[in-house]
Amino acid sequence: MFFKITKSKPNIILEKTEREIKLKKDVLDSILSYCQMKHPNEGILILRGKSKKGNILIDGLIIPPFAFNAHSSSGFPHYMLPADMSYVGTVHSHPSGNAHPSVTDLNNFFQLISLIVGFPYEDKDIFAWDSNGNAVKLTII
Ligand SMILES: [Zn+2]
């Protein structure tokens, strides 16, 4: 018997990672309005929450100190932050509408997870990525 080789699809990556990100609805609403406010520049926020065995619950946001927001990049100096285990990652916007992480995003990966919101910043425009640029399942609760 031969195994049939199928081309990889995004859902296969999701099965492999076994991670799940849960995002509270009120936090999502805050993220989306922040991105709209920053448009056409990028906006960036730090995600607070709890992490257990790769599963992450995001229940809060912090505006990073000394953040910069330009048209195609945003960030903050990581050394300005105190070591805090409740920082689980970042969320930033992509005014271009493409919610995939850029090479710069992956090089500046902070903590466990990166959420990216693509224009027009609606509920369906937010995606979660790991430090390798693989999609992670994101559930709004
Ligand atoms: Zn980016």
CATH number at residue 109: 3.40.140.10
42 Cα: distance to centroid of ligand 1 (angstroms):
8
CB 90 within 8 A of CB 47: yes
Look at residue 107 and tell me if it is in a domain. yes
Distance 4 CA to ligand 1 centre (A): 36
**Higher pLDDT among residues 89 and 54, named by residue:** 89
Higher pLDDT pick, 111 / 115: 115
What's the CA-to-centroid distance between 77 and ligand 1, angstroms? 15
Q: What is the mean pLDDT of residues 82-110?
A: 91
Is residue 35 assigned to a domain? yes
pLDDT at 136: 94
* Alpha carbon of 49 to ligand 1 centroid (Å): 21
Rounded Cα–Cα distance for residues 95 and 33 (Å): 13
* C-beta atoms surrounding 59 within 10 Å: 16
Residue 122 included in any domain: yes
pLDDT given for residue 65 in this prediction: 78
Of 62, 138, 51, 132, nearest in space to 88 by CA: 51
Separation of CA 116 and ligand 1 centre (Å):
7
Does residue 11 fall inside a structural domain?
A: no
Residue 1 located in a structural domain: no
70 CA to centre of ligand 1 in angstroms? 11
In tens, the pLDDT along 66-89 reads: 787 777 788 888 777 777 779 999
Examine residue 87 and state whether it is found in any structural domain, yes or no: yes
Burial (CB < 10 A; 0-12, 13-18, 19+), residue 119, is middle
pLDDT recorded at residue 15: 47
Query: What is the domain count for the chain?
Result: 1
List the domain range (segments joined by +) for residue 93: 20-140
pTM to 2 decimal places: 0.83
In this structure, is residue 14 part of a structural domain? no
Residue 5, domain member (yes or no): no
